[in-house]
Structure 1
Amino acid sequence: MTAPSAAGLTPGSHGRDRLAEPLRAVVGTKTATALAKLGLETVGDLLRHYPRRYDDPSRLTDLADLPVGDHVTVFARTKSTGIRPMRGKSGFILSAVITDGHRDLDLTFFGKNRGILAHREHMLRPGRTGLFTGTIGEFRGKRQLTHPDYLFPEDAEERTRAAERATLPTPIYPASGAIPSWGIRAAVETVLDTLREEDVPDPLPEAVRAERGLPGLLETLRLVHAPRTAEDWQAGQERLRFEEAFVLQAALAQRRAEARAQPATARAPRPGGILDAFDARLPFSLTAGQQEVGATVAAELARTWPMQRMLQGEVGSGKTVVALRAMLQVVDAGGQAALLAPTEVLAAQHARTISAMLGPLAEAGMLGGADRATRVTLVTGSLSAPARRAALAQAASGEAGIVVGTHALLSQGVQFADLGLVVVDEQHRFGVEQRDALRAKAMHAPHLLVMTATPIPRTVAMTVFGDLEISTLREVPAGRAGVRTHLVPLGRPGWLERAWQRLREQVDDGARGFVLCPRITAADDAVEPGTDLTEDVPDEDGAGDAGGGARGARGDGTARAAGPPPRPLAAVDDIAARLRAMPLLAGVPVGELHGRLPADERDATMAAFAGGAVPVLVTTTVIEVGVDVPDATIMIILDADRFGLSQLHQLRGRIGRGTRPGTCLAVTSAPPGSPAMERLEAFAATTDGFELARVDLAQRREGDVLGAAQSGRGSSLRLLRVLEDADIIDAARGEARALVDADPTLAAYPVLARTIAEQLDPERAEFLDRT
């Protein structure tokens, strides 16, 4: 559908600011205090706190899948109840059983005497049907609710209203111990009853709603919070999903329009320049994908408005060559290119790789340098003062056509003579503000190319990276031998022993091997099963060794029962010491690498590993991206269940990059059938990064999919599911782009503009803190 023009759209009313009214003034102090514990402070917050699901009063809740540790509200019937003395201590226990007709759930209440519990026993008499809310616990292998809240509709309302409610869908809200679902429902009803159309300004333009047959916002909120049929709440949710997609796409369209409105220096290809000389010295042919993307990038660099493109591709698909050719085109046109990398290891790797690929073309003014050449310089936080002064001088004077660096490139002391292209590698490690800080160092808006080796499904790309055009490399250059992956269960000690034997065999064959650990030292905090490894000590570049890729690693997803302390996770220092003492590896030098090492020590370690002097490297995920050692053929990942799928795929991409096949051995203690084991089985089953991305995102929460900017109270996406709602996102994208093309500042749509400002504010890295 073609979006209506601006002339056909009328702005909504600003209305009174009822949505910003504190809840305390509407529902009372006690209820408002309880709601505040859920992050609900205003009328608008409460109305955007949508039901988690809807129960049919004629059907009981299925009790089959209630994870331990979850706060739940269930609609069930009491089956039995009884009071008995506690064993070995004073007091009594009221035990009740509720049922869905097929499965049971225990309820437990404690009291000092029988009389205290007698009233509850009467309320919970068998045969009564009601709502029960609390946190699922476990005792002696059985799930239970301890001291749950409960509500029997006929006790809380007049019989006439109770009878009516018995025929309507029952909204079940995300709740807490401070306030149950029915308490939230009562508060919502109190608020809704006081609102008029003008009190609820609608961010969706009227013509867009009319074109799609969508209800207004107030009517939508009534459909969602007080439905009379299942069709009501389904229609309300459909409207809200479109609204969420539309608001985000409008914001992305604005950012895209702002970038296009800035003037940029055209950097057209220059025949006979460094790029042509580089192409002539390439020892291999570009893949069809590299040629196609290269042509697109070359054409966009020649325009007078800035290129805004993301290049995603499989691990080892040759993104660096595409980026380097773009940088050389800019250098040929008299400009400079800056490559921003997340870690010093990756930045140094890029600088070495680019210099090696260019050869004499990177030795301008040096003995043996080509007649037409440039210089490559590295800027990191750990450079010595003299080296830093020299690097900064080369960047500021323009002597260095290509400047590679970490976050240090963002510092005020770094200047460029004529920055024409910014390349951001593994861009999910950087927020938009960091990206823009580097672009601000240019006289005119520089062209932008961001790269990622984490494949992104199309709907996620439209939702999170909608301000960028996207190119994809799927082919892997010819000659790569590939990698086979096997799982090594810790429950079978002989399998781990065989893994170390394979490592020795590969080393004896002249190859290199990685041993991956989730921790740096044995003294680091142990992590219980089911805990994310998102908190780690950052290296000097600010990138934690555990890495953002561990998001979504949830173990078995349940609370841990009391028992022996968890097994400590593998640590670099401990594992390296064990390997050195292992008779099987006698005479094999073992190195250690992680983000806490000084930069010069890390560089020396990587050089020794690449050269073969230290053929076994025990490391953290500091080698996750960019490290290219063709002779690395084996990787053993310890505690592999502690990493997310995308990170595992990245790690595996460090081996099999030469002509010899690679072997990846994922060691795990995850129990069979657990989500962690399912994740590892998917990892072992395929090396297709796009398929793994689909599986990974399907397992993760929506907030994880979208990044920190879309999670928590300020999230603009509450109902939209980017993996399932492709049609909605597509439609919203077209409508929003047409709207913004006609009115870039949204001057005619103040409610939409205000919604974007409120939901997607700059403090969340302009709604895209893609970390």
Structure 2
Amino acid sequence: MSTRPEILFPLFAALETLGGIGPKTAKSLETLGITLPRDLLFWLPTAGIDRKFRASVTEVQAGDMATVEVEVGAHRPGRTRSAPYRVEVRDALSTFELVFFHASSRWLTQQLPEGAKRVISGKVEHFEGRVQIVHPDFILPPHEADHIPDFEPVYRLTAGVTGRTMIKGIGDALSRLPMLQEWIDPELKAREHWPDWHLAMSAAHTPAGPDDLSAQNPVRRRLAYDEFFAHQLTLALARAQVRRAKGRVSIGTGQLRDKVLAALPYKPTAAQTRAIGEIEQDLGAGLRMNRLLQGDVGAGKTLVALMSLLIAVEAGGQGVMMAPTEILARQHLEGIRAMAEVAGVVVEILTGRDKSAERRRKLAALKSGDIQILIGTHAVFQKDVEFQDLRLAVVDEQHRFGVAQRMQLGEKGQASDVLVMTATPIPRSLALAQYGDMDVSVLDEKPPGRKPIQTVLVSDNRLDEVVERLRRAISDGAQAYWVCPLVEESEVMDMTAAEERFKHLRAALGEGVVGLVHGQMPVSEKDAAMADFVAGRTRLLVSTTVIEVGVDVPAASIMVIERAEHFGLAQLHQLRGRVGRGEAASTCLLLYHAPLTATGEKRLSVMRDTEDGFVISEADLEMRGAGDVLGTAQSGLPRFWVADLEHQAGLMAVAQKDARLLLQQDPELTSPRGHAARVLLWLMRQDEAIRLISVG
């Protein structure tokens, strides 16, 4: 079914076909991402107004809504056009005023004739001892009172669209709701007490009270599940497509790996051994591997990556490892080369910096198979980079590479397997949303010898003590980082600029002891400052967050983070992970400026209480929301209209299991439920998935 099913046509018509929406309103709705009647259906209310009928305005607090029947009394027009026009009215228990500004007296006498009965709904206010409702939302004769909902849904709006227009447009879209066949597994639906799709959709837009707006309400959960299921079905189809593509069988002899393991000063952790086993199984299965290796800071991903690359080499092929930046690529080279040389494996690096002759030499060696493992930046994507037999591609810090680039990389080898590594612990629900097409290996223990890092919260009014303590530590041979919030001095935020802090610390600790690195510096200066610190020529490195990812200086054992309350949890966790890599016991000082906000305090206490990146990431998700945790702009997270990753996370895992199971039982989606699922994919605009089905 590669054309949209006819039953959905009314929901995919032009917005202007809905009542009350002309070209201008349609243009305004576009700024919210609403371009079809279908989108309006998924634009659920975010709040509601209680408009239940009351006997009198005296029953509600000032600031609340009241809907009451009144008898209209005297009109008191203002002396000038801009003065308020007041109308006295009486409900069952009290007399109060309706107040209008810039209103036409002719219109008011028609709407509110003296002596007539009217039903009024609006916000009750107290002004100079009098009760009043300014510009009531509804003024209706009693026989039309049922036009006022008991609980009125409130929608997020944009300039040029009023609440009334939104409600009218949505009402018209609801009148087009088709009766669709069920795509949810019947047992799951019964167990969760979920209504049918069309009933859920209309109930979501007619909430009876605040409980109906909660993410845990069965109606909302059902609609969220539909989105998660469509998303996971798309990923499962992509996964099936990859797995259908002929893979290579890469079975290693174990010889090279044994040499490396024998030379290691420690034993790999159980988690490392388990992950290597999962990867080895994938590589030998003859299906395309598409695996995510998720490990916390310092959990030993490099060893797992090297072992995986060695399997490819043992099987007679080559491997490539890609990093997002040159600094990281060079660091991987240092980390891997020494271990690989023990096994006699040739490792080389390719970056944008390679000059023409040098580059040609490397490309020739790669094509002839003389280079067995290549490490590089995105420079390895270029057309002229050819491998003799690429078996495995390892991609580091995945969130900088899109799915499309993963595919491109796979095309460099006949059927190369892909292993993606991330050092950012991602909550399970987000990992499923972002990497649901992949299989996941988790490194959840630290290698032996990684000492715990003591984390201390210190108010910045004790700055002098901190500097004094640093002086003592440095004279005892320690090295330290000092991370500053911002580079430029800005009036708006009284943050201490890195340059100011650098001058201050240099004055306190002496010339030549303190180095400086920040984002505005020329690359050569930055590299020189880093080199001085790595070599131990400088003992304290003042920096902005440029050191966050991947910088490895085992001798550094103290991390000071200034104005720590302004950093996100994930960032604090990454920064703290820069210390604790050597022999010395390490400390992380979180300097904060009192008083802390409740969120700031919670964030810093989480950091103090745990070093577990997964616990930290779940707390981060709870506090900031999915988009911010992954940085929505480049996160590759789908846009969910109804589903809420923070509060409905459990549904994502159910959806993944169900989607994979459905495809196992019905790979072509030809059963009745399979057909219903195809309709769901069209409804959710999952064009990619539909393309995969028609290709399949």
TM-score by length of 2: 0.81
| Displacement of 1:574 | 4.2
**Separation (CA, whole Å) in 1 of partners of 2:577 and 2:83:** 60
**Separation (CA, whole Å) in 2 of partners of 1:418 and 1:220:** 54
* Deviation string, structure 1 residues 151-170 (Cα, Å, up to 9, x no partner): 533x1x5534534745x432
Assess if the C-alpha contact under 8 Å between 2:302 and 2:335 holds in 1: no
Aligned to 1:70: none
**Separation (CA, whole Å) in 1 of partners of 2:256 and 2:635:** 46
Assess if the C-alpha contact under 8 Å between 2:369 and 2:388 holds in 1: yes
Query: CA 1:235–1:478 in 2, change beyond 3 Å: closer, same or farther?
Result: closer
Aligned to 2:386: 415
Aligned to 1:502: 469
| AA partner of residue 608 (structure 1) | D
| Higher mean C-alpha displacement, 35-44 vs 256-265 | 35-44
Superposition pairs of residues 111-510 of structure 1, within 5 angstroms? 129-130=121-122, 151-153=136-138, 155=139, 157=140, 159-163=142-146, 165-166=148-149, 168-193=150-175, 195=176, 197=178, 204=183, 214-227=194-207, 234-271=217-254, 273-361=255-343, 373-444=344-415, 446-490=416-460, 492=461, 495-510=462-477
* Deviation string, structure 1 residues 669-712 (Cα, Å, up to 9, x no partner): 36423423432232223212122111100012243356638999
Query: CA 1:151–1:756 in 2, change beyond 3 Å: closer, same or farther?
Result: farther
| Displacement of 1:600 | 5.5
| AA partner of residue 664 (structure 1) | C
Query: In structure 1, the residue corresponding to 2:590 is in which secondary structure?
Result: strand
Query: In structure 2, the residue corresponding to 1:443 is in which secondary structure?
Result: coil
| Displacement of 1:41 | 2.6
**Separation (CA, whole Å) in 1 of partners of 2:680 and 2:562:** 46
| AA partner of residue 384 (structure 1) | K
**Separation (CA, whole Å) in 2 of partners of 1:671 and 1:110:** 44
Greater helix content: 2
Assess if the C-alpha contact under 8 Å between 1:330 and 1:420 holds in 2: yes
| AA partner of residue 408 (structure 2) | A
Query: CA 1:602–1:277 in 2, change beyond 3 Å: closer, same or farther?
Result: farther
Superposition pairs of residues 11-90 of structure 1, within 5 angstroms? 14-15=6-7, 17-27=9-19, 28-29=21-22, 31-58=25-52, 76=65
Q: Which runs of 5+ in 1 are unaligned?
A: 1-10, 61-73, 96-107, 133-147, 362-372, 527-564, 767-771
Aligned to 2:488: 522
**Separation (CA, whole Å) in 2 of partners of 1:393 and 1:592:** 40
Assess if the C-alpha contact under 8 Å between 1:149 and 1:180 holds in 2: no
TM-score by length of 1: 0.73
**Separation (CA, whole Å) in 2 of partners of 1:320 and 1:329:** 14
Assess if the C-alpha contact under 8 Å between 1:202 and 1:216 holds in 2: no
**Separation (CA, whole Å) in 1 of partners of 2:687 and 2:571:** 29
**Separation (CA, whole Å) in 2 of partners of 1:663 and 1:149:** 60
| AA partner of residue 635 (structure 1) | M
**Separation (CA, whole Å) in 1 of partners of 2:535 and 2:634:** 44
Query: CA 1:75–1:175 in 2, change beyond 3 Å: closer, same or farther?
Result: farther
Identity %: 34
Superposition pairs of residues 685-700 of structure 1, within 5 angstroms? 685-700=609-624
| Displacement of 1:413 | 2.6
Query: CA 1:575–1:357 in 2, change beyond 3 Å: closer, same or farther?
Result: farther
Query: In structure 1, the residue corresponding to 2:339 is in which secondary structure?
Result: helix
Query: In structure 2, the residue corresponding to 1:502 is in which secondary structure?
Result: helix
**Separation (CA, whole Å) in 2 of partners of 1:334 and 1:489:** 58
**Separation (CA, whole Å) in 2 of partners of 1:109 and 1:387:** 80
| Displacement of 1:668 | 3.2
Counterpart selection for 1:741 from 661, 664, 669: 664
Query: CA 1:753–1:441 in 2, change beyond 3 Å: closer, same or farther?
Result: farther
**Separation (CA, whole Å) in 2 of partners of 1:709 and 1:697:** 16
| AA partner of residue 245 (structure 1) | F
**Separation (CA, whole Å) in 2 of partners of 1:93 and 1:613:** 76
| Displacement of 1:398 | 2.0
Query: CA 1:642–1:228 in 2, change beyond 3 Å: closer, same or farther?
Result: closer
Assess if the C-alpha contact under 8 Å between 1:270 and 1:333 holds in 2: yes
| AA partner of residue 470 (structure 2) | L
Query: CA 1:602–1:344 in 2, change beyond 3 Å: closer, same or farther?
Result: farther
**Separation (CA, whole Å) in 1 of partners of 2:136 and 2:33:** 24
Assess if the C-alpha contact under 8 Å between 1:37 and 1:178 holds in 2: no
Aligned to 2:539: 615
Query: CA 1:260–1:595 in 2, change beyond 3 Å: closer, same or farther?
Result: farther
Query: CA 1:686–1:227 in 2, change beyond 3 Å: closer, same or farther?
Result: closer
Assess if the C-alpha contact under 8 Å between 2:350 and 2:376 holds in 1: yes
**Separation (CA, whole Å) in 2 of partners of 1:504 and 1:576:** 14
Counterpart selection for 1:650 from 555, 574, 578: 574
**Separation (CA, whole Å) in 1 of partners of 2:292 and 2:589:** 32
Assess if the C-alpha contact under 8 Å between 1:244 and 1:716 holds in 2: no
Query: CA 1:743–1:14 in 2, change beyond 3 Å: closer, same or farther?
Result: farther
Query: In structure 2, the residue corresponding to 1:312 is in which secondary structure?
Result: strand
Query: In structure 2, the residue corresponding to 1:260 is in which secondary structure?
Result: helix
Assess if the C-alpha contact under 8 Å between 1:716 and 1:759 holds in 2: no
* Deviation string, structure 1 residues 271-323 (Cα, Å, up to 9, x no partner): 4x221111111111112222222222222222111222222222111111111
* Deviation string, structure 1 residues 305-355 (Cα, Å, up to 9, x no partner): 122222222211111111111111211111111111122211111111111
**Separation (CA, whole Å) in 2 of partners of 1:461 and 1:150:** 49
Aligned to 1:720: 643
* Deviation string, structure 1 residues 504-558 (Cα, Å, up to 9, x no partner): 2232222221122344x427xx4xxxxxxxxxxxxxxxxxxxxxxxxxxxxxxxx
Assess if the C-alpha contact under 8 Å between 2:41 and 2:201 holds in 1: yes
Aligned to 1:606: 530
| Displacement of 1:128 | 6.7
Query: CA 1:197–1:149 in 2, change beyond 3 Å: closer, same or farther?
Result: farther
| Displacement of 1:638 | 2.7
Assess if the C-alpha contact under 8 Å between 2:249 and 2:284 holds in 1: yes
- RMSD of aligned C-alpha atoms? 4.0
Rg (Cα) greater in structure: 2
| Displacement of 1:573 | 4.0
Query: In structure 2, the residue corresponding to 1:440 is in which secondary structure?
Result: helix
Query: CA 1:403–1:40 in 2, change beyond 3 Å: closer, same or farther?
Result: same
| AA partner of residue 637 (structure 1) | I
Query: CA 1:518–1:284 in 2, change beyond 3 Å: closer, same or farther?
Result: same
Query: CA 1:294–1:38 in 2, change beyond 3 Å: closer, same or farther?
Result: closer
Query: CA 1:229–1:673 in 2, change beyond 3 Å: closer, same or farther?
Result: closer
Query: CA 1:223–1:646 in 2, change beyond 3 Å: closer, same or farther?
Result: same
| Displacement of 1:180 | 3.8
| Displacement of 1:663 | 1.6
Query: In structure 1, the residue corresponding to 2:394 is in which secondary structure?
Result: strand
* Aligned residue pairs, count: 635
| Displacement of 1:214 | 4.4
| AA partner of residue 309 (structure 1) | R
**Separation (CA, whole Å) in 1 of partners of 2:611 and 2:686:** 36
Aligned to 2:58: none
Aligned to 1:576: 502
